């Protein structure tokens, strides 16, 4: 092997090493980003679960209160409670939608990270 060939092989190896180091940095950054997103999604799921628990407690409390009321008062209270419940269910639906959106973003990031040449 001549000096020129050895020099060329050394330059090619160094170029490849730099490319691999750059790729490694990109993967490490993507992993860090994905871990942060995973924490965000986990937090959103915990918040949604807590909201669901509070909603269930509200339903239980409203049911107990409803059993103590007379029919007229019960109908009036029920209408108000149903409005609150609808609002709470909408908030829960939005939280679940956001959770699904964050999960999709995480999956997309994972797919881009795992796709060669991306």
Residue 114: pLDDT band with limits 50, 70, 90: confident
- Tens digits of residue pLDDT in 62-84: 888 877 766 776 688 888 999 99
Give 93-100 contacts, CB < 8 A, sequence gap 24+. 95/44, 95/47, 95/48, 95/51, 96/48, 98/44, 99/41, 99/44, 99/45, 99/48
- Mean pLDDT across the chain, nearest whole number? 89
């Amino acid at each position: 092997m001549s000096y020129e060939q050895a020099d060329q092989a050394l330059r090619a190896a160094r170029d490849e090493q730099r490319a691999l180091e750059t790729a490694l940095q990109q993967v490490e950054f993507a992993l860090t980003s994905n871990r942060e997103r995973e924490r965000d999604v986990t937090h959103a799921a915990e918040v949604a679960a807590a909201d669901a628990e509070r909603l269930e407690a509200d339903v239980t409390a409203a049911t107990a209160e409803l059993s103590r009321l007379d029919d007229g008062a019960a109908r009036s209270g029920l209408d108000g409670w149903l409005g609150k419940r609808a609002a709470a269910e909408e908030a829960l639906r939005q939280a679940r939608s956001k959770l699904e959106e964050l999960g999709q973003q995480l999956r997309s990031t994972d797919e881009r990270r795992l796709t060669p040449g991306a």
